[in-house]
Amino acid sequence: MSSYRRIKLGISSVIENDVMPNFINVLDAELLRQKLTPQFLQLGFQGEHFYRDSDKNTQAYLNHVLTGPPEKFADVVPLFVMLMSVGEVLTVDAYQEFYDKFLLLNKGTYAKQLLAIEQLINDWGKSTSLDQTDTVKKIMLTIEAKANFSWFGFTDENGFPEQGFFVDEVFSVRLLPT
């Protein structure tokens, strides 16, 4: 996996600044999991040993956040991706219950987009490429197809814009004096 470049940071008009670090962490972890799990299993390890101990807390966390569902679709996506990433830690019934809850959020209006994101991630897992740029762009455009001012970086904020990629619209960032 030496040619896989981890996403370190991002800025977006679609995802709130306080949600972005969690979104990046969850998405990057799931993209890596999609590539590493098959190799892990081929080495003879058990699937449940692939996860961190803290992943066992995901069921309680999802129960908590889904009691008062997020208001915006962009806030739902990292939670849905989180469910994908720890699916094997949950029982089949618990996974299916959460999966159905996500598809029924906001009276089912998010279902088509969530299924599209799930397919993009699954397709990424089956591809031979280790460049996640196109997949991340498509996921972001599934979240918001118009005026998507988002950038993801592979280094730190000093790498903007060369050490990352724009999703749709190119933009600049100007720091305001404090």
pLDDT tens digit string along 128-171?
A: 999 999 999 999 999 999 989 999 999 887 888 899 999 998 99
**pLDDT on residue 9:** 93
**pLDDT on residue 69:** 73
CA 135/CA 132 separation, integer angstroms: 5
Task: Quote the strand ranges of the chain, DSSP E.
Answer: 9-12, 150-153, 164-166
pLDDT tens digit string along 43-96?
A: 776 666 555 555 567 788 888 888 887 889 999 999 999 898 776 678 889 899
Q: Other CB atoms closer than 10 Å to residue 4's CB: what's the count?
A: 14
**pLDDT on residue 47:** 61
Asked if residue 151 lies in contact with residue 170, where contact means CB atoms within 8 angstroms, the answer is no
Angle subtended at Cα 33 by Cα 31 and Cα 35, rounded to the nearest 5 degrees: 75
Q: What is the DSSP letter of 170?
A: -
The answer on pLDDT for 40 being more than 80 is: no
**pLDDT on residue 53:** 52
> Model's pTM, two decimal places?
0.87
Of 94 and 37, more confident: 94
